[in-house]
C-alpha cells in the first residue's frame, strides 16, 4: 500500500534527483540515502534506505540546511564565490561544528533500516518559484520494497 506524500526536510546529495537527506517516513524524521546496486554498478534511481533520527538531530540538520540555503541565496545573487561553499564566512564555524556531528548522526542504522521506493515531487503548497534541484520545496511518497 502506498503512503501519503510526506515532507522532505533536506537534500544533502542530489544527482538527477534527491539521493540523500532528511525526510519524514511514517510521520517521523528519518535520514534517507539511495541504495547502491552492484548489478547496475550504480545508485538505484528510486530505492532508498531509511533510518529514524531524533528530534535533536533533525534540529541540527535543519540549522545546517538553513546555513546552506543562505549561502546558496548569496551565491545566486553574486554576493559570494563558489570557494566559500557550503557556508558564508559568518556561518562557516557553526557549519563545521554541525557537519562534524551530523556526519556521525545521519548514518543508516542497519538494525533500524527500512527500504522503500521514493517518488519525489515539488510541494504543491509551496507557492515558490525556485530553481531546479535541491532548492525546490519537496515532498516524497514512500512505497515499501518487497
Q: In terms of domains, do 49 and 84 share one?
A: no
DSSP-derived secondary structure letter, 136: S
For 111, other C-beta atoms within 10 Å of its C-beta total 6
User: pLDDT at residue 119 above 70?
Assistant: yes
The grid coordinates of residue 118 equal 521514493
Mean per-residue pLDDT of the chain? 90
Q: In terms of domains, do 40 and 4 share one?
A: yes
According to the model, what pLDDT value does residue 3 have?
79
User: pLDDT at residue 126 above 70?
Assistant: no
Q: In terms of domains, do 60 and 47 share one?
A: no
According to the model, what pLDDT value does residue 56 have?
97
Higher per-residue confidence, 127 vs 43: 43
According to the model, what pLDDT value does residue 37 have?
79
According to the model, what pLDDT value does residue 1 have?
53
Higher per-residue confidence, 37 vs 82: 82
Q: In terms of domains, do 146 and 119 share one?
A: yes
Q: What is the mean pLDDT of residues 11-28?
A: 93
What's the structural domain count of the chain?
2
Three-class SS of residue 40? coil
Domain containing 27: what range? Answer: 1-53+111-146
Q: In terms of domains, do 139 and 121 share one?
A: yes
According to the model, what pLDDT value does residue 134 have?
54
Cβ–Cβ under 8 Å, residues 83 and 75: no
Match 515532498 to its residue by C-alpha cell: 139
For 101, other C-beta atoms within 10 Å of its C-beta total 15
Amino acid at each position: 500500500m502506498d503512503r501519503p506524500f510526506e515532507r522532505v526536510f533536506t537534500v544533502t546529495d542530489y544527482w538527477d534527483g534527491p539521493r540523500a537527506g532528511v525526510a519524514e517516513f511514517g510521520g517521523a524524521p528519518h535520514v534517507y540515502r539511495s541504495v547502491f546496486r552492484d548489478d547496475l554498478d550504480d545508485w538505484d534511481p528510486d530505492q532508498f534506505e531509511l533510518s529514524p533520527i531524533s528530534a535533536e538531530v533533525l534540529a541540527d540538520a535543519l540549522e545546517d540546511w538553513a546555513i546552506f540555503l543562505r549561502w546558496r541565496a548569496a551565491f545566486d545573487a553574486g554576493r559570494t564565490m563558489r570557494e566559500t561553499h557550503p557556508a558564508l564566512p559568518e556561518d562557516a564555524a557553526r557549519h563545521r561544528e554541525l557537519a562534524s556531528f551530523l556526519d556521525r548522526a545521519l548514518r543508516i542504522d542497519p538494525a533500524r533500516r527500512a527500504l522503500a521506493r521514493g517518488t519525489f515531487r515539488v510541494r504543491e503548497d509551496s507557492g515558490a518559484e525556485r530553481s531546479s534541484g535541491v532548492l525546490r520545496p519537496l515532498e516524497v511518497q514512500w512505497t515499501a520494497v518487497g
